[in-house]
Amino acid sequence: MLVGCFVTKLTRQDSELGAAKEANAVLQSRLDEFAERNEVLERDALALQKVKKDYDDKLTKLKLRYTKAEGEVIQLRGELSSTSGLQHSRIDDAVVEARDEMARGFAEKTSEIAGLRHCASGVIQSTMLTTCSRIYLPVVSAGAVEASVAVDDDVEVLDEDDVEVIDDDEDVED
């Protein structure tokens, strides 16, 4: 019996060993599959790292370009501002110059007008004095005028507008 037990034990161990070998083969197969998947994932990871590195390099270049472009934008804004300031300055200078020219023109015209007024007032005053000295209008009272009209009957009226004086007395003084 001992041998029978031993054989049974061996058979059972053989069958357990066979089952273990089968399980080991299945596990080995799964391990191989995992190893293949791992290799594929490692290759994908390396490819992704390379792509990531490329994108990081591109991002760095874009950031550098952006920084340069931003610097250029700031520089151009500064130039535009200074150009705008220069234009404002030029416009202000032109306005000041135009105002000065208008003021000078106004002052010249005012001076010219004052001179003409002065000359005109002198001429007018001189003309008035000359006219007054040529025209002597004696001051006569109303009674004297009536007496003079009564005495002076030598005046004939031809028309309403024409008056003729007949001088009978040459001794009469004007």
Instruction: Give the number of domains in the chain.
Output: 1
Tell me the percentage of the chain whose pLDDT exceeds 90: 14
Asked if the structure places residue 90 within a domain, the reply is: yes
pLDDT value at 21 more than 60: yes
Residues 20/28, Cβ–Cβ less than 8 Å: no
Let me know if residue 87 belongs to a domain.
Answer: yes
Tell whether 31 is covered by a domain: yes
40 found inside a domain: yes
Average pLDDT value for residue range 26-36 = 94
Distance CA 46, CA 37 (A): 14
Chain-centroid distance, C-alpha 34 = 72
Distances 135 to 122, 130, 131, 145 between C-alpha atoms, Å: 20, 9, 6, 19
Domain contains 105: yes
60 domain residue, yes or no: yes
Q: Could you tell me which of 139, 140, 142, 171 has the C-alpha nearest to residue 154?
A: 171
Find the domain containing 59 and state its range. Answer: 13-131
pLDDT digits (tens, 9 = 90+) for 111-162: 887 777 777 777 777 776 676 666 655 666 666 656 665 555 555 555 555 5
Contact (Cβ atoms closer than 8 angstroms) between residue 129 and residue 115: no
**Token couple for 10:** 């061996």
> Is 166 in contact with 154 (CB distance < 8 Å)?
yes
Greater confidence, 99 or 127?
A: 99
pLDDT at position 151, please? 53
Note the pLDDT tens digit of each residue in 67-91.
888 888 888 888 877 777 777 788 7
Name the band, by pLDDT with cuts 50, 70 and 90, for residue 174: very low
Highest mean pLDDT among 10-19, 52-61, 66-75: 52-61
Rounded to the nearest integer, the mean pLDDT of the chain is: 76
35, pLDDT greater than 90 = yes
Which one has a higher pLDDT value, 24 or 122?
24
Q: Quick check: 163 and 155 in contact, CB under 8 A?
A: yes
Q: Tell me, what's the pLDDT at 135?
A: 61
Judge whether 143 lies within some domain.
no
Separation CA 38–CA 44 (nearest Å): 10
Residue 154 forms part of a structural domain:
no
Structural contact between residues 166 and 156, judged by C-beta atoms closer than 8 angstroms: yes
pTM, to two decimals:
0.36
- pLDDT: which is higher, 46 or 110: 46
